[in-house]
Amino acid sequence: MDNLAAKVQQAVDTQRPEIVAFLKELVQINTYSGNPEGINRVGKMVASGMPARLSHRAVNDYKGVNHHIYTNQDSASQPIVIVGHLDTVFPPDSEFQEFTESEEKLFGPGTADMKGGIAVMVYALRILEEFKILENIPLRCLINGDEETGSGSSYNLIRDLAQGAAYGLVFECGGLEGEVVKARRGIRRYKLSVTGKARHAGVKGGAKASAVVEISQMVLALENMNDPEKGISINVGLISGGTVTNMVPDHAVANFEFRFWDGDAEDEVLEKIKEVVKKPQNPECSAVIECDHRRPAGCPVDGTDHIYKMVKTAAKELGQKVGQESRGGTSDANFLIDEGIPTLDGMGPIGDMDHSPDEYILRESLFERIALTAVLLHKLAAGE
């Protein structure tokens, strides 16, 4: 084992109980995206755990959520950007609130998505500071509080931090075989509104301009655009319309999303959607769409193979194995990649069942990923 790798591994091993206790404390405070108070409490805990040498500032958004920015050698060229998030999908009244553990697994809301990743970030940086290596690493770090709702108030911060950066690392959970993530699909979410003409449902004669009928036909047209071979998925997840049964409905709304692997597929599907919307089958109906969320496709860019090679090298020095994969879900890595930054996601602990009451990470992987991140950051900064 390489000398630094051995020292890092020993440092992690001596802090195992402390690391688990830190993660437990994070997990047992509810940080649902709609709970600014909980998010900010955990943000303060993380801030108190970060190395003191890092400059820190909090950016408060319009919902009262603090996003935290940490920098080291901020004026240095080609810094490394690392990104994580505090928020989860579990409301305060959810039954899934507690941290529990077994010999092999750590359970709880956010263990995988992604308070486990936050613990990896904090302790990797602390260990680098302990060995007086952190001072030599040009670093920009963002820990936001709105990733689960699309990073609507923090994505510009991510893009700003990406300017001039050399590499990006994002700490969503790793794959079950130890994979890190090299690519993610993009996503667009839309609200489709259809307007018809109201009248009494019992009146005879003439075709009716039902907004519900029209939107139903549009929904079928949208769903028919699914193309698994091209990695295009469309899902209409919510639909509503009308008021009472004896009235022809004059309004209907559907919410849908589509996902794609690259910009060409995104443009192709968007044109098809626009054609459906602008040509209702009933000429007395009309429709409009509004995009309320977009993350660009996260296709590998120049330099991605190099950073993956560096991860493999660091893992080998630590006696670990990593692979790589592409994921259909999105993350803040999409924004870094869209800025042209070679980025790997899935740097957090190995985990599964996120967004469910069975969410967990593998205990050993928590310690492994701390060591892996510390060694990798040193290698990236050293230009190895």
Return d(Cα 171, Cα 127) in angstroms, integer. Answer: 17
Q: State the pairing for strand pair 286-295/186-195.
A: antiparallel
CATH number at residue 260: 3.30.70.360
In 3D space, the residue among 246, 270, 247 whose CA is nearest the CA of residue 259 turns out to be 270
Q: Average pLDDT, stretch 350-372?
A: 97
Look at residues 251, 272, 294 and tell me which one is the last residue of a structural domain: 294
pLDDT at 1 over 60: no
pLDDT > 70: percent of the chain: 98
Lowest mean pLDDT among 73-77, 110-114, 170-174, 286-290: 73-77
Return d(Cα 142, Cα 57) in angstroms, integer. Answer: 10
Q: What range does the domain containing 26 cover? A: 3-185+298-382
Return d(Cα 374, Cα 169) in angstroms, integer. Answer: 12
Q: Please indicate, yes or no, whether residues 108 and 219 belong to a single structural domain of this protein.
A: no
Q: Which SS3 state, helix, strand or coil, does residue 279 take?
A: coil
What pLDDT is attached to residue 303?
96
Cα–chain-centroid distance for residue 150? 8
Q: Please indicate, yes or no, whether residues 252 and 322 belong to a single structural domain of this protein.
A: no
Q: Please indicate, yes or no, whether residues 205 and 339 belong to a single structural domain of this protein.
A: no
Count Cβ atoms within 10 A of the Cβ of residue 54 and give its class: 0-12 exposed, 13-18 middle, 19 or more buried: middle
pLDDT at 204 over 70: no
Q: State the pairing for strand pair 80-85/167-170.
A: parallel
Q: For residue range 179-198, list pLDDT tens digits in order.
A: 999 999 999 999 999 999 99
Q: Please indicate, yes or no, whether residues 209 and 180 belong to a single structural domain of this protein.
A: no
pLDDT band at 349 (very low <50, low <70, confident <90, very high): very high
What pLDDT is attached to residue 75?
63
pLDDT at 224 over 80: yes
Q: Average pLDDT, stretch 45-51?
A: 98
Alpha-carbon distance values, 57 to 66, 68, 217, 275 (Å) = 9, 6, 50, 46
Return d(Cα 354, Cα 77) in angstroms, integer. Answer: 36
pLDDT at 206 over 80: no
Q: For residue range 238-297, list pLDDT tens digits in order.
A: 999 999 999 999 999 999 999 999 999 999 999 999 999 999 999 999 999 999 999 999
pLDDT at 76 over 80: no
pLDDT at 77 over 90: no
Return d(Cα 157, Cα 180) in angstroms, integer. Answer: 24
Look at residues 294, 320, 336 and tell me which one is the last residue of a structural domain: 294
Q: What is the mean pLDDT of the chain?
A: 96
Q: Which two tokens stand for residue 359?
A: 């969410």
Alpha-carbon distance values, 52 to 129, 209, 284 (Å) = 9, 65, 65
Return d(Cα 144, Cα 66) in angstroms, integer. Answer: 7
How many residues make up the chain in this entry?
A: 384
Q: Please indicate, yes or no, whether residues 130 and 200 belong to a single structural domain of this protein.
A: no
Q: Please indicate, yes or no, whether residues 203 and 179 belong to a single structural domain of this protein.
A: no
Q: Which two tokens stand for residue 128?
A: 């680098």
Alpha helices in the chain (DSSP H): 3-14, 16-27, 36-49, 116-130, 155-162, 211-223, 263-278, 304-317, 333-338, 363-382
Q: For residue range 29-43, list pLDDT tens digits in order.
A: 999 999 999 999 999
User: Which residue, chain included where needed, has tokens 């709880």?
Assistant: 108
User: Is residue 89 within 8 Å of 355, Cβ to Cβ?
Assistant: yes
Q: Please indicate, yes or no, whether residues 148 and 248 belong to a single structural domain of this protein.
A: no
What pLDDT is attached to residue 384?
76
Q: Please indicate, yes or no, whether residues 218 and 107 belong to a single structural domain of this protein.
A: no
Look at residues 276, 294, 312 and tell me which one is the last residue of a structural domain: 294
Q: Please indicate, yes or no, whether residues 61 and 155 belong to a single structural domain of this protein.
A: yes
User: Number of folded domains in the chain?
Assistant: 2
Q: Please indicate, yes or no, whether residues 20 and 165 belong to a single structural domain of this protein.
A: yes
Q: Please indicate, yes or no, whether residues 198 and 335 belong to a single structural domain of this protein.
A: no
Q: Please indicate, yes or no, whether residues 204 and 131 belong to a single structural domain of this protein.
A: no
CATH number at residue 345: 3.40.630.10
Q: Which two tokens stand for residue 349?
A: 């602990």
Q: Which two tokens stand for residue 253?
A: 């709304």
